[in-house]
């Protein structure tokens, strides 16, 4: 059985894989299904091969990539296609893969980093007590997202939360439940990218999981 993952950290050390993303857990699948690569000039692809005795051999290959321009919103929208394809092909660990991808994408939405008034509030807000107060119809800590893009990402996020909620309701074992909860956590980690509806749906799903 083989487990595939990728690492796109700036230092491609095998001892520190802070950005490693799992593509497939250990299974009989000989190659990963469709997945989305991060925006990085170099990645490392890992294959952890487990033999019949349970011993694991790790092989990896550095790969140089040509980066295409894609916004975080475009990346987020494509996750719906990924989830649909994974479900149609019976990829049982799709929720785990997707949770990692969502975390990477949401970090790009908030790429300003640091504290204080990032990016001069993107010229769409005022810096007050070291925090941006965004003008009307602008969002995020640096006021970089307009209302149209905010609504689009919110719609995709709500769809993904609904999928996770369905998975929680239909979970047949603890592993499936854990994967759905991981996805739910990834989708709601950034409060700037959520609203009352998405958070309320997620909370109801968590309460349902507790009852399970």
What is the tens place of the pLDDT at every residue in 90-120? 666 677 778 888 888 888 886 655 567 888 8
Of 109, 83, 177, the closest CA to residue 185 belongs to 177
pLDDT recorded at residue 22: 65
Are 18 and 9 contacting, i.e. CB atoms less than 8 angstroms apart? yes
Question: What's the whole-model pTM score?
Answer: 0.71
Are 63 and 38 contacting, i.e. CB atoms less than 8 angstroms apart? no
Q: What is the C-alpha separation between 132 and 128, in angstroms, rounded?
A: 6
pLDDT recorded at residue 19: 58
pLDDT recorded at residue 201: 95
């980690």: which residue's tokens? Answer: 189
pLDDT band at 67 (very low <50, low <70, confident <90, very high): low
User: What is the tens place of the pLDDT at every residue in 138-172?
Assistant: 999 899 999 999 999 999 999 999 999 998 888 88
Q: Which residues neighbour 58 within 8 Å (Cβ) at sequence distance 6 or greater?
A: 14, 46, 47, 48, 49
- Name which residue leads in pLDDT, 17 or 71: 71
Q: Quick check: 10 pLDDT over 50?
A: no
Q: Give the rounded distance of the alpha carbon of 127 from its chain centre.
A: 30
Of 26, 14, 10, 193, the closest CA to residue 103 belongs to 193
């Amino acid at each position: 059985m083989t487990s595939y993952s990728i690492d796109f950290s700036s230092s491609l050390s095998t001892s520190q894989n802070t950005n490693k993303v799992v593509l497939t857990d250990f299974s009989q699948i000989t190659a990963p299904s469709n997945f989305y690569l991060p925006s990085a000039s170099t990645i490392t692809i890992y294959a952890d091969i487990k033999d019949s005795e349970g011993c694991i051999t790790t092989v990896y290959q550095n790969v140089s990539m040509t980066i295409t321009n894609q916004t975080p919103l475009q990346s987020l929208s494509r996750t719906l296609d990924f989830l649909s394809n994974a479900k149609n092909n019976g990829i049982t660990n799709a929720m785990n893969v997707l949770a990692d991808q969502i975390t990477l994408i949401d970090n790009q939405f908030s790429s300003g980093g640091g504290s204080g008034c990032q990016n001069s509030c993107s010229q769409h807000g005022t810096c007050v007590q070291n925090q941006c107060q965004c003008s009307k119809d602008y969002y995020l800590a640096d006021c970089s997202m307009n209302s149209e893009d905010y609504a689009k990402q919110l719609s995709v996020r709500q769809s993904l939360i609904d999928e996770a909620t369905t998975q929680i309701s239909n979970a047949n074992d603890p592993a499936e439940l854990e994967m759905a909860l991981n996805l739910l956590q990834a989708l709601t980690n950034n409060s700037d990218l959520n609203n009352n509806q998405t958070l309320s749906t997620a909370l109801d799903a968590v309460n349902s999981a507790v009852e399970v």
